[in-house]
Amino acid sequence: MIVDEEIRHSLGDRRFELPGGHPAHRRMRELLMSEVEIAEFESFHQENNQVQIRWNHNRLEELGLVTSRPPRGLISKSGSRPLWYLIGLEEQGGGEEGEINHSERLEQYQFRFDVDRLLANRAPLAAALATDGTEALAWYIPFHDTSSEWGIYIRDIGPRIIANRCFPDLLRTNPGEALELAFDFLFAHEFFHHISEIACTMLENSNLSNPLYRPYFDRLVSGDADEALEEALANSFALDFIHGKQNKDGLRGLMDDCPPGYRDYGEYQSKLHFERGLDWLASMFTGKPFSRSNRYTFGHGLFSHPNSVFNRMKVPLHETTDRSPCTPALPICIFNNIIVPEDIKNKANHKRTPPNARKQFWKCIDKLRGSQIERNRRLEKLNRKDWFKFDVTGGWRMVLEQISPGKWVVRYLDEWDKYMRYRAKNSL
Ligand SMILES: [Zn+2]
């Protein structure tokens, strides 16, 4: 890792506390509070104008709402991900008790949902996207920050929103790939902020009497559209990592709805325009306002590094979870009653059904009755409305239909390969 504690220490008093306008403060509020609490807080805050919830990594950690991963570098543009991406480097310690591994996480998130419905139900999230664009779903805490933790933060709902909104076809055929692509986009966007911080630090180091990053960063997070060039470049940079025209178009649709700056990525898509943008950005580091005539000639050189350096430019990665889950648009299943028809009963008790499947089937029915499930990796929504699949054992599946709110019927029970044929035949 290039930026280590020694480098951070050497910045001395050029380090600073996160400015009040940084989106992480707003995310902190959303991660911790329910929608009602946020509304109450906002009305109170506006009247009293005295309380501010500040970004606090340690508090999130105490509450189990953030998981820190080993530092990561950029993925390769060819689309081949480093091995850690596929197996999840976090498992290298053998996986702690109770920790969900990477593939299980993906399985949990395989539900598709309607993003518009989610946003209609989650006003703070919709407001975050409208105000903060990409930073509503992921954010970067610079190494200039005085707190102990810095790096890229990805909100767990983030890749899911992007996959549902931008890659719906891919999500249907290959949910794992769709979620990873969405993750790559967010990571690459935030990684550009890291590249930018390093570029500004290089300028800063050439004249130590003159701190540059702090005043520049204040302007970047001020919410002023004239200061948002870095966001346009970050979106353009991230888009370049996404393969396939359909996927890129999906992301363009999302970014076109983002606030000014974020939505201006299109102006920096060609190599020439991107480099010109970097020259303008470098001139902004020196305190100049954004202007097409303010070019810091060769400023783009501050952003390019040989591969040997790039490979070591790793950033700590943190994954955050909302305390009140973003679930209104996810299927929430309430099992008040489950009817087991005669034919299913016969199957479940038949001597040719393996004893384990017999036992587990009745155990599952008992457990589900009277319960509420908002997401469970054994439960998967099928393509037909109100139909769900449930994993009875490793090899046996049952299909449930909700016939009226809370009232369910078991429609099917069999081993996996027969279930797959049944599913295909009935277009489930
Ligand atoms: Zn950004």
The pLDDT tens digits of the residues spanning 383-425 come to: 787 888 998 988 899 999 988 878 899 999 999 899 999 998 9
The reply to whether 326 falls in a domain is no
Q: For position 409, which CATH number holds?
A: 3.30.2310.20
- Residue 31 backbone phi and psi in degrees, to 5: -65, -35
Task: Pick the last residue of a domain from 259, 291, 320.
Answer: 320
Domain interval for residue 363: 333-425
Cα-to-centroid distance, 419 and ligand 1 (Å): 45
Ligand 1 midpoint to CA 207 (Å): 27
Tell me if 167 is assigned to some domain.
yes
β-bridge pairing 407-415 and 337-339:
parallel
328 domain residue, yes or no: no
Ion ligand 1, residues whose Cβ is below 5 A away:
231, 234
Helix or strand holding residue 418 (H, E): helix 416-425
Residues 272 and 356 in one domain: no
Q: Using the mean position of ligand 1's atoms as its centre, give its distance from the Cα of residue 97 in Å.
A: 35
> Which pair of structure tokens corresponds to residue 217?
């960063």
Question: What is the predicted pLDDT for the residue at 306?
Answer: 85
Does residue 327 form part of some domain? no
Q: Are residues 242 and 103 in the same domain?
A: yes
Q: For residue 254, how far is its CA from the centre of ligand 1 (angstroms)?
A: 14
List strands edge to edge, sheet with 315-320: 66-72, 315-320, 151-155, 138-141
Q: Quick one: 273 and 133 in the same domain?
A: yes
Tell me, yes or no, whether 267 and 343 share the same domain: no
- The pTM of this model reads 0.72
- In terms of domains, do 343 and 389 share one? yes
> How many A from CA of 85 to the centre of ligand 1?
22
Using alpha carbons, list the distances in angstroms from residue 322 to 27, 64, 311, 425: 9, 10, 32, 39
Q: How many domains does the chain contain in total?
A: 2
pLDDT given at position 92: 37
Distance from the alpha carbon of residue 189 to the mean position of ligand 1, in angstroms: 6
Q: What is the pLDDT of residue 103?
A: 41
Q: Are residues 141 and 212 in the same domain?
A: yes
| Whether residue 301 is found in the same domain as residue 362 | no
Whole-number Å distance, alpha carbon 23 to ligand 1 midpoint, is 9
- Pair (380, 294) in one structural domain: no
Distance between Cα 325 and ligand 1 center (Å):
24
CA of 234 to the centre of ligand 1 (A): 6
Q: Rounded CA gap, 224 and 216, in Å?
A: 12
Q: Is residue 98 part of a domain?
A: yes
pLDDT at 332: 59
- Are the C-beta atoms of residues 406 and 365 closer than 8 Å to each other? no
Q: How far is the CA of 376 from the centre of ligand 1 (A)?
A: 32
Cα 320 to middle of ligand 1, angstroms: 17
Query: What is the structure's pLDDT at 195?
Result: 95
Residue 63, both tokens: 């509450």
Assess whether 114 and 197 both reside in one domain: yes
Q: How far apart are CA 174 and CA 247, in angstroms?
A: 13
Which of 290, 320, 350 corresponds to the end of one domain?
A: 320
What is the pLDDT, as a whole number, of residue 154?
95
Q: How far is the CA of 227 from the centre of ligand 1 (A)?
A: 12
The Cα–Cα gap between 140 and 302 comes to: 19
**Which residues in the chain show pLDDT less than 70?**
35-36, 41-51, 76-111, 324-332, 372-377
Residues 265 and 164 in one domain: yes
Ligand 1 centroid – CA 132 distance (Å): 8
The CB-side HSE value for 296 (13 A sphere, CA atoms) comes to 22
Gap from CA of 361 to ligand 1 centroid (Å): 49
Question: Is 81 a member of any domain?
Answer: yes
In a domain, 232, yes or no: yes
Q: Do 286 and 345 sit in the same domain of this protein?
A: no
**Ligand 1 centroid from CA 377, angstroms:** 32
Q: Are residues 298 and 350 in the same domain?
A: no
Residue 391 lies in a domain: yes
